[in-house]
């Protein structure tokens, strides 16, 4: 029986793949657990539409990432923060703070996951940060922390 997989079943079988499986395996395991559906021409057309939509979304996302990299490349992002005399921040500067500032300054909606920051920034000065949109689209920005005079 030919089936279309609705979920990843193993390392070799991915969501959206069409495979021939034994009738018993399909009827007794895949179909009842909703891991796959029987292959029909109608489902094939539906799968093609979904695949095309996914491709269009991926292309739009890639274009957005490339534009974001162009805007952010080499930029310096300034923060005025409360810090002690020795330059240690009273509170750390987290990914959330960075995302808010980038969205405000550059009008780019990004997720915290793309910021390569292991722990919050705690010292006054310049810090190089990498933003990784995709494995091959990485941009470096400089975050400069200055002590606030307030």
Instruction: Report pLDDT digits (tens) over 63-92.
Output: 998 998 888 888 999 999 888 888 888 888
Residue 14 scores a pLDDT above 90: no
Q: So what's the pLDDT on residue 150? A: 66
Give the residue range(s) of CATH 3.40.5.10 domains in the chain.
2-60
Alpha-carbon gap, residue 85 to 87, rounded angstroms: 5
In the predicted model, what is the mean pLDDT of the chain?
A: 90
What are the residue ranges of CATH 3.10.430.100 in the chain? Answer: 68-147
Which residue in the block uniquely carries the two structure tokens 């109608």? Answer: 42
CATH number attached to the domain at 2-60: 3.40.5.10
Torsion of CA 131, 132, 136, 141, to 10 degrees: 0
Polymer length of the chain? 150
Is the predicted pLDDT of residue 33 greater than 90, yes or no? yes
100-118 per-position pLDDT tens digit: 999 999 898 889 999 998 8
- Say whether domain 68-147 belongs to CATH 3.10.430.100: yes
**What would you report as the CA-atom Rg of the chain, rounded to the nearest whole angstrom?**
24
Cβ contacts of residue 61 below 8 Å, gap of 6+? none
Give counts: helices (H), strands (E), the chain: 3, 9
Handedness of CA 102, 115, 129, 87 (dihedral sign): positive
């Amino acid at each position: 029986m030919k089936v279309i997989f609705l979920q990843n079943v193993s390392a070799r079988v991915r969501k959206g793949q069409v495979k021939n499986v034994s009738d018993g395996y399909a009827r007794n395991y895949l179909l009842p657990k909703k891991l796959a559906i029987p292959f029909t021409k109608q489902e094939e057309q539906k799968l093609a539409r979904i695949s095309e939509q996914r491709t269009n979304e991926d292309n739009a996302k890639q274009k957005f990432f490339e534009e974001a990299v162009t805007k952010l490349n080499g930029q310096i992002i300034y923060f005025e923060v409360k810090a002690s005399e020795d330059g240690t921040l009273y509170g750390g500067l987290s990914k959330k703070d960075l995302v808010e500032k980038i969205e405000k300054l550059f009008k780019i909606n990004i997720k915290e996951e793309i910021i390569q920051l292991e722990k919050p920034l705690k010292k006054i000065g310049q810090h190089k940060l990498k933003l990784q949109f995709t494995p091959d689209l990485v941009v470096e920005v400089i975050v400069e922390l200055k002590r606030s005079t307030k």
